């Protein structure tokens, strides 16, 4: 089952030593406008099926988009594809900007 994780919970995971994959599924222009502030893998949503092999299905994966809607769809797709642990970043980069880093532009 796909869970949700807040930006703060994601940072707490990292602080605790976890090494999840942060998968950013936004379009190139979105990532340039409002980059994810921590290490991530960028694969636009429409390219996930052809590039899924770049991801480790055994590694915990947290999916990020602008608001949390596209990332939720991708998280469900990855779960159906056999990924063992997938979560949606609740509220997306907008929540990250609001709750963690207001220097990230709102768009």
Q: Which helix (H) or strand (E) holds 5?
A: strand 3-5
Partners of 88 in the β-ladder: 4, 63
In the set 23, 65, 72, 87, the catalytic residue is: 65
- Specify whether 50 is catalytic: no
DSSP 24-76: E-S-HHHHHHS--SS--EE--GGGHHHHGGGS-TTS-EEEE-SSSHHHHHHHH
Positive or negative, the CA dihedral 5, 7, 13, 18 is positive
Catalytic residues: 65
């Amino acid at each position: 089952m796909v869970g949700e994780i807040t930006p703060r919970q994601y940072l707490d995971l990292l602080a605790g030593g976890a090494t999840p994959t942060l998968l950013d599924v936004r379009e190139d222009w979105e990532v340039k406008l409002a980059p994810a502030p921590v290490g991530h893998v960028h694969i636009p949503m429409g390219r996930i099926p052809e590039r899924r092999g770049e991801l480790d299905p055994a590694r915990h994966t947290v999916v990020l988009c602008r608001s949390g809607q596209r990332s939720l769809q991708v998280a469900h797709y990855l779960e159906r594809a056999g990924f063992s642990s997938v979560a949606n970043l609740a509220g997306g980069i907008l929540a990250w900007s609001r709750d963690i880093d207001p220097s990230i532009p709102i768009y």
